[in-house]
Amino acid sequence: MIFARPQGKILIAVGKEKSARNDVCEALRCKDSIEKVFFASGIESEVFFIKENDFKDAPRLKKRILEIKPFCVFNLFEGYGEDSQKEVTFVKLLESVNIPFTGNPSFTLSVCLDKMKAKSILRKNNLPVARGILVKNVKNIKLKGLTFPLFVKPRSEDASVGIYKDSLVYGREQLAAAIKKRLKHLPRGVIIEEFLPGKEYSVAFLGNDPYKVLGVSEIDYSRHEGFLPFLTYNAKWETKTREYKVVTPDYEPKINKTLKKDIINLSAKAARALGCRGYFRVDLREKHGNFFIMDINPNPDINEDSGYMRLAYGSGRTYAIMIERIVHLSDYH
Ligand SMILES: Nc1ncnc2c1ncn2[C@@H]1O[C@H](COP(=O)(O)OP(=O)(O)O)[C@@H](O)[C@H]1O
Ligand SMILES: [Mg+2]
């Protein structure tokens, strides 16, 4: 038991919405596993459901949390399908009342919800990112030197939402169609960036700076002939699809030691530039022997069978140890 005996209870915050979307249901499943860990450790916990309406009266929401006097909020709240920004609003609220919470601060969450902003901060820190532009209107797109094939992805989503077969485009016509389709649902715009064709890596970290590396997973798309060379929404979440079953990361890849060191160093620098804390994953892809930071995932899925946890198990940590460690890193003590 690594807990300094806390006073009071831990509040497990999770969103409640009427959604059948798999990535939303996952947070609820995670809540159950985490509750079990606290129960087994003799830590009192309470589940706190956050409904969309709660944000209409923020002072009341604040008051309800303060009345419970939690020593820490275990934050599984990811906003809503139609409004991921609420994830940031909620953490800002916790910051404003100085209640310790697990995972990443509002600054990091907010930057990572805007992939264009994240890219720009990384670039300013001399870290390699794919060249890209933001598009909010399908008319008069200026490619500014970008060459096909290109990749079209939402500016402000995660979990491969909006990543489908038509994300990879080879010409102007396909590009316009892919943008048009997405802009209908994505008022904040889409990013067009150069396609990185090589292996995809994901580095799992634990800790406040300095960070501990839990492990690196790899997807080698060249081994999955006949499948799309990127992680679509189906490949990530739709358990009944062929791509979900086949296009899976290798959690114990054989990576050359020097390359692995480079991947980890780049990822740690990127995480530091965005102020990551607690638990997070950094995704990269390779092009012509160079690595590019593709995506930073603060507060990634930490279900028992998640990619993040698989890497943690590979490092010799159990689920319970990980959950306790994540609480400890909230600096509640
Ligand atoms: N520039 C790119 N080149 C190649 N593949 C990409 C690129 N950007 C994203 N992808 C693919 O799309 C997936 C999802 O994109 P990502 O930027 O990680 O967003 P999300 O937040 O949805 O995970 C990635 O796992 C990767 O397979
Ligand atoms: Mg990603």
Question: What separation in Å is there between the alpha carbon of 288 and the centre of ligand 2?
Answer: 21
C-alpha triplet 325, 327, 329: angle, nearest 5°: 70
Reference 159, options 99, 91, 79, 97; nearest CA is 79
Residues with CB under 5 A from ligand 2 (ion): 283, 295
3-state helix, strand, coil in the chain (%, to 5): 40, 20, 40
Q: What is the pLDDT of residues 56-100, one digit of tens each?
A: 999 999 999 999 999 999 999 999 877 889 999 999 999 999 999
From CA 65, how far away is CA 73, in angstroms rounded?
A: 9
**Hey, which of 188, 231, 232, 248 would you mutate to test ligand 1's pocket, going by the most ligand atoms within 8 Å of its Cβ?**
231
Q: Cα torsion at 104, 108, 110, 112 (round to 10°)? A: -110
As annotated, the residues of the chain forming the CATH 3.30.1490 domain(s) are 132-194
Q: Tell me, using a 6 A CB cutoff, whether residue 71 lines ligand 1.
A: no
As annotated, the residues of the chain forming the CATH 3.40.50.20 domain(s) are 10-103
Least confident of 10-24, 65-79, 99-113: 10-24
As annotated, the residues of the chain forming the CATH 3.30.470.20 domain(s) are 111-127+196-298
Pull the structure tokens for residue 96: 């404003």
Question: What separation in Å is there between the alpha carbon of 285 and the centre of ligand 1?
Answer: 9
Percentage of residues in the chain with pLDDT exceeding 70? 97
- 8 three-class SS: coil
User: Where does 10-103 sit in CATH, by number?
Assistant: 3.40.50.20
Q: Which CATH number fits domain 132-194: 3.30.70, 3.40.1440, 1.10.3470, 3.30.1490?
A: 3.30.1490
CATH class name, domain 111-127+196-298:
alpha beta
From CA 268, how far away is CA 122, in angstroms rounded?
A: 12
pLDDT for the residue 5: 60
- Pair 297, 281: CB distance under 8 Å: yes
